[in-house]
Amino acid sequence: MQNQGDHRIAGAEEHHATESSPLLPTSAPHDHAAAAHEHEGESGRRGFHPYHFFRVLWRSSCTASMLVNLLWPVVPVAILLQFFPRLDLVKFTTAYVAVIPSANLLGFSGQEFARKMPKVAGILIETTFGSIIEIILFIILISKHEAGGEQNLVPIIQAAILGSILTNLLLCLGLCFFFGGLRQSTQSFHAIVSEVGTGLLLVAAFGLLIPSAFYSALKGETVPELPPGFRPHNDGTFTEGKLQADVLRISQATSVALIVAFALYIWYQASSHHSIFDEVIEMDEHRDADREADAEKPKFTMTEALVAIGVSLALVTVLLVFLVQGIEPVVESGVPDQFLGLILLPLVEKAAEHLTAIDEAWDGVINVALYHCLGPSIQTALFNGPLVVLIAWAMGKPMDLNFEIFMIVLLVLSILVVGNFLRDGESNWLEGALLVIVYAIVAIASWYYPNPDVATSNGLLPNAPDAAISVDTLRQLQRLLSSKLDE
């Protein structure tokens, strides 16, 4: 670590910490070309050209992303099916598949747009575009949620928040380690990326789990809800309703604090052009096995990138609305809520981002791949999840961060497992395979986890037998007291 620190200090002194000087030496022709195309978005063209637009779109960012484009015919099919009655499962399935190429276009256009930005700012923008799909999904889910009604989507939203984190930490990171390890026996990554990433994840997990811990600690101290008309002398009785209201307020305040933490995280990375993140990422880019081939690929102009972003956002939003509309029939067909939120929804919304990260790991750009795994997890925990709580608050819907104990255990254990694998600063295909196996175990367990209307570990169900008995007993007591007072 000392040698790394000396190297960074020496590098800073050599370049005088000026933004105009490169962090790493590059050839003059390359610098000249970059300067020539910088104002054109490195495409060599201006404006919008349909032929070049669709040519660049088809080639996409990597071979895997290009193969995803074969799914585009499913998009119009998914839209047309919405005009036909019934066929609920077919509608859900086609909408689910159609989201993948649309999300891939959004991720690729965001990547093209990020090319016009500085290194760290570009990756932050690229990560943000990947999370836009998640934010849209959460907003649609909370808008469809009916408190106390048949469409209780809060358990699915809560599962989707943690499922997004687990998908990035276990599946995406595992596949990056696995495919990167197949090409290189061992890949080394910079300690600053893993240390900051795992540290922020622990802070985020702490914030997310506080409401659940508060509820679990005090739910045994509550008294049953009193029937209407019966009021004790002590108005401060700690009932189940009072506890749930307190948890809701704690969740809302915690959400504000987590969003502030995310803003500080963004400011820390974007405030200095020559931050350690910028240095690490640029070093990775010079080790990219496909660096020259990527530089020669045709690219979007700024106009084309903005058009692609607009089109993909519209398609993703429409398809996600169709997807959410099909959730109830899917659950009724036998797919558990926890499996739907924890596994299915995060998989489709993160598909494009995962392909990008895996391609980077395959090319030896392991620091950038690691950033693409940890960055979205941090954003989900610090911003996307808390944001949906605040949006629900503004809409007058009770959305809190009181997660199931099952999901809490999964999150904590996953962070500990990933942190242990990141500790030595090296990865191999075996560690990647183990992470994927852990994710498979999570998926199996979530499939057998009962729906909230059958069992719950973080709340008292309104139709629970013991609650009904307690209310009947209190009503009898009320009648007895009333009769005694009348005498």
Q: Give just the sign of the alpha carbon dihedral 361, 364, 369, 370.
A: positive
Predicted pLDDT of residue 108? 82
CB atoms within 10 A of CB 292: 9
DSSP single-letter state for residue 187: E
Query: How far is 210 from 199, CA to CA, in rounded Å?
Result: 17
CB atoms within 10 A of CB 157: 20
Predicted pLDDT of residue 148? 59
H or E stretch covering 426: strand 426-427
Residue 35: Cβ-neighbour burial (10 angstroms; 0-12, 13-18, 19+): exposed
Predicted pLDDT of residue 386? 93
Local structure of 20: helix, strand or coil: coil
Predicted pLDDT of residue 203? 80
Terminal CA-CA length for the chain: 84
* H helix runs in 380-464, sequence order: 385-395, 405-422, 429-448
H or E stretch covering 138: helix 119-144
Local structure of 456: helix, strand or coil: coil
Q: Strands 187-188 and 426-427: what pairing? A: antiparallel
Predicted pLDDT of residue 365? 82
CB under 8 Å to 382, separation ≥6 — which residues? 200, 203, 204, 207, 258, 259, 261, 262, 265
**Rounded to 5 degrees, what are φ and ψ at 22?**
-70, 155
Report which of 342, 384, 401, 398 is spatially closest to residue 213, judged by C-alpha positions.
Answer: 401
Q: Per CATH, the architecture of 50-223+239-449 is what?
A: Up-down Bundle (1.20)
Report which of 3, 43, 66 is spatially closest to residue 302, judged by C-alpha positions.
Answer: 43
Q: List Cα–Cα distances, 441 to 205, 343, 429, 436, 438, in angstroms.
A: 21, 11, 19, 9, 5
Report residue 29 as tokens. 């022709």
CB atoms within 10 A of CB 249: 13
Report residue 466 as tokens. 């013991």
DSSP single-letter state for residue 403: -
Number of C-alpha atoms within 13 angstroms, CB side, residue 373?
Answer: 32
Query: How far is 237 from 402, CA to CA, in rounded Å?
Result: 22
DSSP single-letter state for residue 188: E
Predicted pLDDT of residue 221? 76
Predicted pLDDT of residue 465? 41
Predicted pLDDT of residue 131? 77
Report residue 246 as tokens. 């307190």
Per-position pLDDT tens, the chain of length 487: 444 444 444 444 444 333 333 333 333 334 444 343 343 345 556 667 777 788 888 877 677 778 888 899 999 999 999 888 888 889 999 999 999 999 888 888 877 877 766 655 666 676 677 678 889 999 999 988 876 556 678 888 999 999 999 999 999 999 999 998 888 888 887 777 777 777 778 887 888 888 888 888 888 777 766 555 555 544 556 777 888 889 999 999 999 999 998 888 877 776 654 455 566 666 666 565 555 566 667 777 878 888 888 998 999 999 999 999 888 888 888 888 889 989 999 998 888 778 888 888 888 888 888 878 888 888 888 899 999 999 999 998 888 888 888 888 888 888 888 888 888 888 889 999 999 999 999 999 999 988 765 445 555 444 444 433 344 554 555 565 555 545 5
CB under 8 Å to 10, separation ≥6 — which residues? none
Name residue, tokens 């889910």: 141
Predicted pLDDT of residue 20? 37
CB under 8 Å to 483, separation ≥6 — which residues? none
Predicted pLDDT of residue 69? 86
Q: Give just the sign of the alpha carbon dihedral 432, 434, 438, 440.
A: positive
Predicted pLDDT of residue 14? 41
3-state helix, strand, coil in the chain (%, to 5): 75, 0, 25
Q: List Cα–Cα distances, 293 to 288, 290, 298, in angstroms.
A: 10, 5, 10
